[in-house]
Structures are given as structure tokens and as C-alpha cells.
Amino acid sequence: MAHVSTNEQKNGRAAPAPAAHAERNPGCAFDRGWVDEIRINRSAVERRAATLPGRRTVKQHWQAAWLLRAVECMDLTTLAGDDTPGTVRRLCGKARQPVRADILEALGVPHVRVGAVCVYHAFVATAADALRGSGIPVAAVSTGFPAGQTPFDLKLREIAASVADGAAEIDIVISRQHALNGDWQALYDEVRAFRAACGDAHMKTILATGELGTLRTVAQASVVCMMAGADFIKTSTGKETANATLPVSLVMARAIREYGERTGYKIGFKPAGGIRTAKQSLDWLTLMKEELGDEWLRPELFRIGASSLLGDIERQLEHFVTGQYSASFRHPMA
């Protein structure tokens, strides 16, 4: 069997060679004119998004390579009310070895790891201890996740507490009322303060797109958050009725592209919520490659927020190795 390399590239089908780490986005002054001029053609966005799943048919060892890249770009997540230190440590163990060793050996891949482990603040210290020495960062959801309906000073304190406990990444939620009311200056000021509280920790800004109403509002909120210094923009908390969708992700990806063209800074993108199958992960990798380029096929600029996705990817990789589908219970998420 041909070995699979995550650096293989042919006809634009596999992951690119390693890219230099992008300089961090410092943000820029608030520009109301830029925000007001944004227009979105919804029907055109939906037509384009509908073509993405069929544009690149990735098969055999190319598919295996892309699925391994999806694992590397995954924020392995547990955000349940019944989380315990034990379940978090178990999740971190899976993060260290996300794909079974026998499958990796058959693929000719020495090791693979996830992009980060994402947990509530209460479990940041537990996760940091469990991941020590692995190089895998801990991401903490913050600022009153998921609704964001807590006092502003408590939001800042929560960020600081998570950073102190060992979080290298902070996934903040915006106050949706600022976006829904068109109070873009208030949103900018809020996110700017969150960025300052994060310090050296990278900030992913969750828009909760399912609650923003229109694609134009999604685009405007994306631009304002990037102006305020977001390192990533993220679709959803995973708790809304509607989470990551290809049309919303397309609008956000194009906002990232425009911001890069205007400022020279590269912003990361994270879809989250509802991405449960290996096939869906390929759709989002295709979106990144088509709209933003090969640099956005790496964890520095792309993450998938997921809790159950890993099990299906591992199952598909075993099918590639053995030619047979195994029972789902052989591939627990963590």
C-alpha cells in the first residue's frame, strides 16, 4: 500500500508544504465607512456554497492525507454540563494520540496531533497539566460562553483567570446585541478590551452567526472583530440552533481575504458546531483552499471545532487501510 504523507500535493488535492507562521494581527482603528459599505448578495453566496462539496472529489490516499490534515486542524472539544476532570484528562489523552497507532503505521505516518483542546475555564488547569510536554495548546471558552450575558468586568476577569491557569488560546463570544443593533463601535470597543485581556494568548472571536439574522450582519461583525485584533473569527458556540454552514463560512472567509488585502494581516477561521462527519470536514478544507489558499490548510490559520468528528475520521482512515468499515464503537471520540 502506498504510504500517505500530509505534505503530499498533486493537482491541488493534498495539503501544502509548511508555511511560515503569520505575523499576529494587531488590529487597526475602527473604520465605520468600511463597515457600512459591506453588501452581500445572498443568492450568489448560496449558489457558490452549493458548488463547493462537488468541486474537489478527493479519493484514496489523497483523501487519507486530507483527513489527517483535518485532524491536525481540529480543536478537540468538550463543553458539556457533566464534564469532570476525568473526562477532560481522557480527552487530552486522545488529543495526544488522535488516530490509533496501527492505522498511522499502515499509513506510513509517524505521528499526528490535534490543533488544540477546548474546554470550560474550570478545566483549563486540568487540561494544561494533562497536555504538558505535548505542544498541544489549551483553548478556553470565555466571556460568559455561550450566551455572553454576563457583566463586562466578569468577562475580563474570566479571560485573565483562564490565561493564568494555562490557556494559550481564548475563544470569546461577542455581545450579539451590539451587532443586531448596528452598534459597531460598541462591538469594536468590547472585542478590543478582550484582546488586551488575552495578552499573549491568541483570541478566537465567536460570532454566533445563527443569531445574527443576515449574512450582511455576519460580514460586518467579522470585519469589526478583525479590526479589534481578533486572531481568528469563529462561526458558532455550537449551542445555537444553527451553527456552522457553508454559506456563512464563505462570507466569513471572504471577509478574511478582504481584511488581508487591506491590512496585510492573515486572520484564522474556525467553523464550529454541526461538523460531525469526515465528508463535512473535507467540504470546509475545500472552502479554505478555494477561497483563501494553501496557507489556510494549517492549524495556524484554520481550526475545526468538534467533539464527535474525530471518531468518524478515524473510522474512514481504518477503511482506507483495511478496505472494511468497522463498528463506530471501535473509534470513541476520546
Tens digit of each residue's pLDDT (9 = 90 or more) over 162-176: 999 999 999 999 999
204 as an active site residue: the answer is no
132-138 long-range contacts (CB < 8 A, ≥24 apart) are 134/95, 134/96, 136/92, 136/95, 136/96, 137/167, 137/168, 137/169, 138/166, 138/167, 138/168, 138/169
Winning range, highest mean pLDDT, from 5-9, 33-37, 241-245: 33-37
Would you state the cell numbers that stand for residue 184, as one nine-digit string? 459597531
Q: How many CB atoms lie within 10 A of CB 21?
A: 10
From 75, 171, 231, 312, the catalytic residue: 171
Per-residue model confidence (pLDDT) at position 56: 64
Average pLDDT over residues 306-327: 90
Per-residue model confidence (pLDDT) at position 334: 42
- C-alpha to C-alpha distances, 283 to 52, 55, 190, 194, 304, nearest whole angstrom: 7, 9, 33, 31, 12
Axis crossing angle, helix 42-55 with helix 246-263, rounded to the nearest 10:
100
Q: To which residue does cell 488529543 refer?
A: 95
Sign, CA torsion 197/231/112/279: positive
Chain length of the chain: 334
Q: Which helix H or strand E contains 140, and what residues bound it?
A: strand 138-142
Assign 22 a pLDDT band (cuts: 50, 70, 90).
low
- Global pTM reads 0.91
Task: Report strand pairing: 268-270 vs 232-234.
Answer: parallel
Residue 283 scores a pLDDT above 90:
yes
* CA separation for the pair 263, 212 (Å, rounded): 26
Under 8 Å CB-to-CB from 137, ≥6 apart: which residues? Answer: 115, 116, 117, 131, 167, 168, 169
* CA separation for the pair 269, 257 (Å, rounded): 11
From 155, 204, 270, 289, the catalytic residue: 270
Rounded percentage of the chain residues whose pLDDT exceeds 70: 91
Express each pLDDT in 221-252 by its tens digit: 999 999 999 999 999 999 998 999 999 999 99
Under 8 Å CB-to-CB from 209, ≥6 apart: which residues? Answer: 218, 235, 236, 240, 242, 243, 244, 245, 248, 252
Under 8 Å CB-to-CB from 275, ≥6 apart: which residues? Answer: 244, 281, 284, 304, 305, 306, 309
Residue 35 scores a pLDDT above 70:
yes
Would you state the cell numbers that stand for residue 207, as one nine-digit string? 460570532
From 94, 155, 204, 234, the catalytic residue: 234
Q: Which helix H or strand E contains 319, and what residues bound it?
A: helix 309-322
59 as an active site residue: the answer is no
Average pLDDT of every residue of the chain: 91
Residue 15 scores a pLDDT above 80:
no
Q: What b-and-e string marks burial along 36-72, b requiring 16 or more CB atoms within 10 Å of the CB? A: eebebeeeebeebbeebeeebebeebbbbbbbbbbbb
Axis crossing angle, helix 246-263 with helix 215-227, rounded to the nearest 10:
40
Residue 6 scores a pLDDT above 70:
no
82 as an active site residue: the answer is no
Per-residue model confidence (pLDDT) at position 4: 53
